[in-house]
Amino acid sequence: MSAMDDVKRRTFLTAAGAASLFPVLPQMLPQAAFAQGAAGAKIVEEVVPPSPDADAKPKYSIKFAVIGVDHNHILSIVAAMQRGGGQLVSVFSPNPQYPKTMPDFKARFGDVKVARSEDEILNDPSIQLVCAAPIPDQRAALGIRVMKHGKDYLVDKPGIISLEELAEVRKTIKETGRIYGILFSERLEVKAAVKAGDLVKAGAIGKVVQTINIAPHQVNAPARPDWFWDTSRYGGILCDIGSHQVDQFLFYTGSTTADVTASQVSNVHYPQYPKFQDFGDVMLHGNGGAGYVRVDWYTPNGVGVWGDGRLFILGTDGYIELRKYVDIGGRKGGNHLFLVDAKAQHHIDCTNVVLPFGPQFVGDVVNRTHVAQDQVETLLTTELVLKAQKQAKVLTFTT
Q: Which residues lie across from 86 on neighbouring strands?
A: 62
Distance set, CA 22 to CA 36, 201, 295, 313, 329 (Å): 15, 34, 29, 26, 8
Mean confidence (pLDDT) of the chain: 91
d(CA 237, CA 258): 20
* Angle at CA of residue 372, ends 189 and 102, nearest 5°: 50
172 assigned to some structural domain:
yes
Average of per-residue pLDDT across 376-394: 98
Within this chain, do residues 158 and 199 fall inside the same structural domain, yes or no? no
Residue that wins the pLDDT comparison between 63 and 111: 63
Of 162, 183, 204, the residue at which a domain comes to its end is 183
d(CA 277, CA 298): 11
Of 183, 209, 233, the residue at which a domain comes to its end is 183
Maximum average pLDDT range among 11-20, 36-45, 381-390: 381-390
d(CA 289, CA 316): 11
β 32-36/42-47 pair status:
antiparallel
pLDDT digits (tens, 9 = 90+) for 220-237: 999 899 999 999 999 999
Q: Is 284 exposed, middle or buried (0-12, 13-18, 19+ CB in 10 A)?
A: buried
d(CA 310, CA 305): 13
d(CA 126, CA 42): 57
Amino acid at residue number 316: T
Within this chain, do residues 179 and 193 fall inside the same structural domain, yes or no? no
Within this chain, do residues 77 and 215 fall inside the same structural domain, yes or no? no
pLDDT digits (tens, 9 = 90+) for 60-103: 999 999 999 999 899 999 999 999 999 999 999 998 777 777 78
**3-class state of residue 307 by DSSP:** coil
**Could you tell me the pLDDT band of residue 322, with boundaries at 50, 70 and 90?**
very high
The answer for residues whose C-beta is within 8 angstroms of residue 198's C-beta and 6 or more apart is: none
274 assigned to some structural domain:
yes
CATH number for position 342 = 3.30.360.10
pLDDT value of position 21: 33
**Number of residues that make up the chain:** 399
Cβ-contact 276, 229 below 8 angstroms: yes
Name the phi and psi angles at 291, rounded to 5: -150, 150
pTM above 0.85, yes or no: yes
Of 156, 183, 210, the residue at which a domain comes to its end is 183
Extended strands (E) in the chain: 32-36, 42-47, 62-69, 86-92, 113-114, 129-133, 152-156, 180-183, 208-216, 258-266, 279-286, 289-296, 310-315, 318-323, 336-340, 345-349, 393-395
Amino acid at residue number 265: V
Q: Which residues lie across from 258 on neighbouring strands?
A: 286
Distance set, CA 86 to CA 64, 126, 128, 281, 362 (Å): 6, 12, 10, 37, 7
pLDDT value of position 179: 98
Q: Which residues lie across from 129 on neighbouring strands?
A: 64, 152
* 362 has a pLDDT exceeding 70: yes
17 assigned to some structural domain:
no
pLDDT digits (tens, 9 = 90+) for 53-63: 888 899 999 99
* The total number of structural domains that make up the chain: 2
pLDDT value of position 54: 83
Within this chain, do residues 310 and 167 fall inside the same structural domain, yes or no? no
Within this chain, do residues 224 and 81 fall inside the same structural domain, yes or no? no
pLDDT value of position 100: 73
* 128 has a pLDDT exceeding 90: yes
Within this chain, do residues 163 and 257 fall inside the same structural domain, yes or no? no
Q: Which residues lie across from 155 on neighbouring strands?
A: 132, 182
pLDDT digits (tens, 9 = 90+) for 236-285: 999 999 999 999 999 999 999 999 999 999 999 999 999 999 999 999 99
Q: For the ranges 5-9, 169-173, 359-363, which has the lowest average pLDDT?
A: 5-9
d(CA 380, CA 251): 11
Within this chain, do residues 135 and 228 fall inside the same structural domain, yes or no? no
d(CA 127, CA 123): 9
Q: Which residues lie across from 33 on neighbouring strands?
A: 45
380 assigned to some structural domain:
no
Cβ atoms within 10 Å of 359's Cβ, excluding its own: 24
Q: Is 141 exposed, middle or buried (0-12, 13-18, 19+ CB in 10 A)?
A: middle
pLDDT digits (tens, 9 = 90+) for 288-321: 999 999 999 999 999 999 999 999 999 999 999 9
d(CA 293, CA 247): 11
158 assigned to some structural domain:
yes
371 assigned to some structural domain:
no
CATH number for position 151 = 3.40.50.720
d(CA 280, CA 214): 11
pLDDT digits (tens, 9 = 90+) for 164-186: 999 999 999 999 999 999 999 99
pLDDT value of position 103: 82
* 202 has a pLDDT exceeding 50: yes
* Percent helix, percent strand, percent coil in the chain, to nearest 5: 35, 25, 40
51 assigned to some structural domain:
no
Within this chain, do residues 169 and 226 fall inside the same structural domain, yes or no? no
Within this chain, do residues 170 and 195 fall inside the same structural domain, yes or no? no
Within this chain, do residues 220 and 170 fall inside the same structural domain, yes or no? no
d(CA 88, CA 186): 24
Residue that wins the pLDDT comparison between 364 and 103: 364
* Angle at CA of residue 219, ends 161 and 384, nearest 5°: 30
Average of per-residue pLDDT across 359-370: 98
Within this chain, do residues 168 and 205 fall inside the same structural domain, yes or no? no
d(CA 325, CA 305): 7
What is the end-to-end Cα distance of the chain in Å, rounded? Answer: 45
52 assigned to some structural domain:
no
Within this chain, do residues 135 and 243 fall inside the same structural domain, yes or no? no
* 6 has a pLDDT exceeding 70: no
Amino acid at residue number 179: I
- For residue 391, what are the domain limits? 187-356+387-395
